[in-house]
Amino acid sequence: MSQKRKLPLLLTKCLMIFTLICNQEGVIAKEGMWIPATIKSREKDMKETGLQIPVELLYNENGTGINNSVVLFGKGCTGEIISGSGLLLTNHHCGYGSAQRLSSEKKDFFANGFWAQNLQEELPCPGLTVTFIRKMENVTNRVLEGINEMDNDASRDTLIAKKITALEKEYAASTHLDAQIKPYFTGNQYWVAITETFKDIRLVGFPPNGVGAFGGDDENWMWPRHTGDFSLFRVYAGADNKPAEAAAANKPYQTNQFLSLNIGGYKEGDFSMVYGFPGTTMEYISSFELNQVYNINDPISIQARTKKLDVWTRHMTQNRETFIKYTAKRAGVANGWKKWQGEVLGLKVNNVIKKKQDFETSFQKWADGSSAPQYASFLLRKMNTNASSIDDFMKRDQYVKECLLAIELIQQGAEIDKLLSLMRLNISADALSDTIKKAADGLAGFYKNYDAPTDKDVFITLMSLYFITNANTLPPKFQAQYLDHKQDMKAWAEDLFKNSILTSADKIKEFAAKAKANDSSILLADPAYQLFADLKTYRAENITPRLKEYTTNMRYLNRLYMHSQMAMDSKRSFYPDANLTQRITYGNIKGLDPDGPAKYSFQTKLGDAIALEDSTSENFKVPAKLKHLYKTKDFGRWAVNGDVPLAFVAMNHTSGGNSGSPTLNSKGQLIGTNFDRAYEGTMSDYYFDPNRCRNISVDIRYTLFIIEKLGGAGWLLNEMKLVRK
């Protein structure tokens, strides 16, 4: 059997993994994603787990807390500041999109990497932002004052929205910073975050895929891992060291708050914590909603994405230009695809739905008692009725999203909608022509990364799946076009991609160059747009209203259910579900070896990656220079027992959005960069199992080794603070 651990889709083949559970001796797993501003309440527990510094250093409002070193990177990742000149460390996959936009066949950063040798070589990343959290404050009383918890959510939301708008303006005026208020505990609490967002961010270092994406799909969401999943950026500021629009005159952001990098290492059992911006968890939902995840959404998404990824992979393997166009998109699609497989398996093996049902039995007994709020007794019955009534609509919509809207040509129908809106404007012919040309030019970014032959194969594959699984509920135009082509999917695809103007930027520009107000008929006749428009109408009339009604009802019931759970167990320390706000989670470094006798425990090394090298596999190619460094043992100061530590696992409760988060030791020093979870524990968004849930981090020593020895960018280490104790 190959050393590379291939993951089958058939979940039954994976069940044997869980008969080999990690040793429980010494395990200290700490479920929870805690709001930094409340971390004082966790001090005793954190100290007992191993924390050696005052919790006030983790978060404070006087500007000296670690909260000022941990940033929201872009729209959904985490980063950490590692120098006084704004140097930022995050994941390779978080920087992937920015690197892709800067890459080309001549400057192929995925094959060769990128390493700035000085400040002047750092590359601007248009549109990329970095947000600092300066302060968090509980504003629940001000937001919910005078609002009855039994009010329906439509009227309640209107009142709350007005209060939030006023409060955000008030905080912005008093702090001269940005302010954002978000709900916590399903709308039972509200917190304001005072933030500062920088808009001039530049790429500094990006390892080649042979390091930063080593293992590809084979190792994604797996332990052991051998991926150097990191990249480097720098935050730039205006002359006053404040956020400024991107400009050549901007300077590196200067700060006294940055993380020290501990190069002294760690051992199994040591305290660790992850500080970041986890995206979404649903730990407190009912069994009815979890059943929808387990039996509807995840299986459909896995089914459709398996087929789409097969098509993309085939085309990307055959053509390097297609690879560059689709590599970032493929990574995003594949990430969810594999995560959901682990999620379904974890939920099944842990029998989580049954555990939810057992809790609900206890809850109902409490809810029927005299100490519970009057509304508590009907919550579960209403939630069950609400969920069961929507299952069929949820299935139909999931297939629409994962099949029809996963075809890029159909997605682009939205752009014709925009052009049609412009053509209805009552403006002069010259103004209309100029407006349409600008709109067409704005599509250049999409078409730079679009390949029509690849998308045509996706169309054939996913449309076939959709017609099989939704034979009795097909949108009318889809059925009509299919019949017009004598039920020949390939003939339909050939005709569609030949005649639609949406297949290339040149066709769009050609139309825009001649377009007049009465040319809307050309757009309306476009066969791809007709599919988009028909699908839009079909969803609006047959699916969306029911889903919207369901979501509104369930949000109301879940808010009361969350409130009731907290009332039922008032001594329990509840943490709010993740919502892409700053959180702290902590535990211990602890191995996981689901495949049997321990070859790997809590750490992998460079030698383990070299042993997997396969020049015939895109996923397991090792850069020639890295192989040479290993062969000659040219590890420099990063050598530990004749090798270089690469990655490690710990028992921290993480989620999507924690990508790029700093993994810190007991002194708040950086020992690694979080980038993944173990496949066996991806169900932690719904249920945390200390036996199986592990977060995976790149060892900071491997990061520094790659920067210095492979990238030849040792100048960057001079601005970092490296410590051994």
Report, as residue numbers or ranges, the catalytic residues: 93, 229, 659
Instruction: In whole angstroms, give the CA distance from residue 46 to residue 665.
Output: 12
Burial class (CB in 10 A: 0-12, 13-18, 19+), 129: middle
Task: Tell me the C-alpha to C-alpha distance, in Å, between residue 21 and each of 342, 349, 593.
Answer: 16, 12, 8
Beta bridge partners of 271: 588
Report whether 82 contacts 251 (CB < 8 A): no
* Residue 488 CB partners (closer than 8 Å, separation 6+): none
Question: Which 3 state secondary structure label does DSSP give 537?
Answer: helix
Alpha helix segments (H runs only) across 50-108: 96-102
CA distance 439 to 521: 18
Q: To which H or E segment does residue 698 belong?
A: strand 695-699
Cα–Cα distance list, 48 to 16, 60, 119 (Å): 35, 21, 44
Cβ contacts of 536 within 8 Å, gap of 6 or more: 413, 417
Distance CA 409, CA 30 (A): 46
Contact between 48 and 588 under an 8 Å Cβ cutoff? The reply is no
- For residue 699, the Cα-to-chain-centroid distance in whole angstroms is 21
Q: At 261, which helix (H) or strand (E)? A: strand 261-262
* CA atoms of 461 and 469, how far apart (whole Å): 13
Beta bridge partners of 664: 273, 670
